[in-house]
Chain A
Amino acid sequence: MNKISKDNFTQERYKYGFVTEIESEKIPKGLNEDVIKLISKKKNEPEWMLEWRLSAFKRLENMSVPKWAKAEIDEIDFQDLYYYSSPKDFKEKPKSLDEVDPKLLETYEKLGIPLKEQKVLAGVAVDAVFDSVSVATTFKEKLNEIGVIFCPISEAIQKHPELVKKYIGSVIPITDHFYATLNSAVFSDGSFVYIPKGVKCPMELSTYFRINASETGQFERTLIIADEGSYVSYLEGCTAPMRDENQLHAANVELIALDDAEIKYSTVQNWYPGDENGKGGIYNFVTKRGLCKGKNSKISWTQIETGSAITWKYPSCILRGDNSTGEFYSVAITNNYQQADTGTKMIHLGKNTKSKIISKGISAGKSSNTYRGLVSFHKKAENAKNITQCDSLLVGSECKANTIPLTENSSNSSSIEHEATTSKISDEQLFYCMQRGLDAEEAQSLIVNGFCKEVLQKLPMEFAVEAQKLVSISLEGSVG
């Protein structure tokens, strides 16, 4: 009983590992000005956008990849990658779903993201990004009626250039660091969101990123602007096929919250993590940053990180507006040979700014899981406050957990509360649950879900159940 064969088991563990057999159109491998010009041309971009990309590329030539993360990363040959891949004959985004290749619709259906009108998740608008292009966006018109813009960024560059021009690169400057600058040079698709003044967006907005083509990097660019007094909740999901090679996903996500606005950004990251011997998997090198530009604004990051061979991301908040709030809720799970180096930066610039960090790291197998965080109070950040809580849970004895919380304080009236714990799932807990009829994996998943509960309950309801299942699946095979 309860013995599953290894083959069975791998499939069960990563059920999104299939490849969609669809002809793709790639531009030649390599990173150079011609490639960037070609991407820009494919996207029909205006001249200013191309210039911006090229200026990023110029800077890139003098930058090198950051090496400080606690992860062993194989050298990436940036000339040996495809930077753009789209389904063949995909010149223009289909106007309606009827024109979308049925194979693509089927792919998203299989991933649990139905795009057809009669099947869509009620209350959730979806932008589906496949390799380098957005293939469909649901509820677009309905959102348009109340002035909410939700579209692929490539479309926004053409239709709303004034907004894109004003905000792109305003939170993550093109000079930031190697991967962020690389993204600025070669980014392909991602979502654009604008919530007008005073509008509370009535549905969840979400983007589903799928990598399908091999030897191809995905360079997502997402820009979300919440105008004065508005509110939006946004969620992204990510999966990729199982392959022996490592693939790169280098995203830039910028959030801007103006006076009294609130952005809630959630991620369920389930990129292919590699096999149980550490072969293959996505390199997830992501720059996510939110600017609380206006007073009383709020940005809240929630992330469930279960996938990727290497995760390297620090969703951060710059708290410029007085009384603004930044939050970071994270569950990072690593198993087998996965490596995660993740955390947040809370930069307090304004008065009475508040931030809260809750990080739950779970390591199993031979994996390594690091929380890295920075809380910084600048001189003018009077009465700023931070609460940080970092908990690590170890499953087995071959994994590693690290907590690296840094603080910088130039303000006299600010306060930081920091708490960190490391624990193991006890044999007593497992035995207790098993005595009541749960098998070892059910018992472990119950205990782990309890450990992450505080964070899981921050997710939009529609996704909380799915995330719980994901937490359990990610740890399968780790029970001794």
Chain B
Amino acid sequence: MLEIKNLNVTVEEKKILKNLNLKIGKGEVHAIMGPNGSGKSTIAHTLAGKPNYNVESGEVNLNGEDLLSKDPFERSLNGLFLAFQYPIELPGVTNASYLKQIVNAHRKSRKETPIDAGEFLKILKEKSKLLDIPMDMHSRFVNAGFSGGEKKKNEVLQMDLLNPSLIIMDETDSGLDVDALKTTAEAINKLRNDERSFIIITHYLRLLEYIEPDYVHVFQNGSVIETGDKSLASRIDQEGYS
């Protein structure tokens, strides 16, 4: 479903990704590990289409379509979801109205009518419960004053609401305490199915203990230096990258 071929990316004239190749099949979970500065977050931002991440050469196909020619919002509407490492604050915008608006943007692209307020509330209650999110969080402004854990849960809630086919998680485990990590991981596991693929970017084994990856890739200097199964993650956890 996702195929990255010879991808070269520069950020502020610095070469970050070098001839990166990666193939992800339907329903697979791939973990990307690697030291700081190895290009882990860059791959996430490039796939999502962040401005200033310049693709010098290479190809990316998502579900048979050229991903790189699309605007960020089109990538989202086509099923790509990036869970941010540092979710952005939107002062003055209540979480509930924001969530409803992004849900409606996706419905509109599928030529569906906007969701009914009552129905939306019902779904929101259901999905929030799964993540242990109190409903009053939705009357606060998006991510503003949220704790690290609340921000990350809000990201997972959004991925649940938008029903994406490819989920990229950029260090979703950072900032979560053990309990929050467990709740979040359980919610993510519920999202796993045969149609949906995951890229999980992480430094640590602990998230991968809850969400078992099919493949683990080790990044160094902007490309994959080693690929293995989940035992590779345990080895790295014990021995480090060197």
Contact = CB atoms under 8 A, between A and B. Distances in A.
Size category of the binding interface on chain B: 20 to 34
Contacts of A429: 88-90
B47 to A, nearest CB: 10
B158 to A, nearest CB: 6
B88 A428 contact: yes
A440 interface: yes
Given A431-B50, A432-B87, A450-B141, A439 B73 contact: yes
Given A431-B72, A449-B93, A436 B88 contact: no
B56 to A, nearest CB: 20
Residue from A433, A435, A439, A450 whose CB has the most chain B CB atoms within 10 Å: A435
A157 B114 CA distance: 50
B139 interface: no
Given A435-B48, A437-B102, A454 B92 contact: yes
B92 A438 contact: no
A432 B93 contact: no
Interface in A1-35: 1-2
B223 to A, nearest CB: 25
Nearest to A453: B92
B93 A446 contact: yes
B84 A432 contact: yes
Interface string A161-203: 0000000000000000000000000000000000000000000
B98 A437 contact: no
A442 interface: yes
A437 B106 contact: yes
Contact of A1 (B48, B51, B71, B158): B71
Nearest to B105: A437
Contacts of B88: 426, 428-429, 431-432
A426 B143 CA distance: 15
Kindly state the interface size class of chain A when it binds its partner: 20 to 34
A393 to B, nearest CB: 11
B98 A446 contact: yes
Given A429-B90, A451-B91, A437 B71 contact: no
Which of B72, B87, B105 is packed against the most chain A CB atoms within 10 Å? B72
A437 B104 CA distance: 9
Nearest to B161: A436
Contact of B91 (A433, A442, A450): A450
Contact of A450 (B72, B82, B90): B90
Nearest to B72: A434
B71 A450 contact: no
17 contacts: A1-B71, A1-B74, A427-B51, A429-B90, A431-B72, A435-B48, A436-B105, A437-B105, A438-B102, A442-B101, A446-B98, A449-B92, A450-B90, A450-B91, A450-B141, A451-B92, A453-B92
Interface of A: 1-2, 426-429, 431-440, 442-443, 446-447, 449-454
**6 A-B pairs closest in CB distance:** A450-B92, A450-B93, A432-B88, A437-B105, A453-B92, A437-B76
Given A432-B90, A446-B101, 20 more contacts: A427-B51, A429-B89, A429-B90, A433-B90, A433-B102, A435-B49, A435-B72, A435-B84, A436-B76, A436-B162, A437-B73, A437-B77, A437-B109, A438-B73, A438-B102, A443-B73, A446-B93, A447-B93, A451-B92, A452-B92
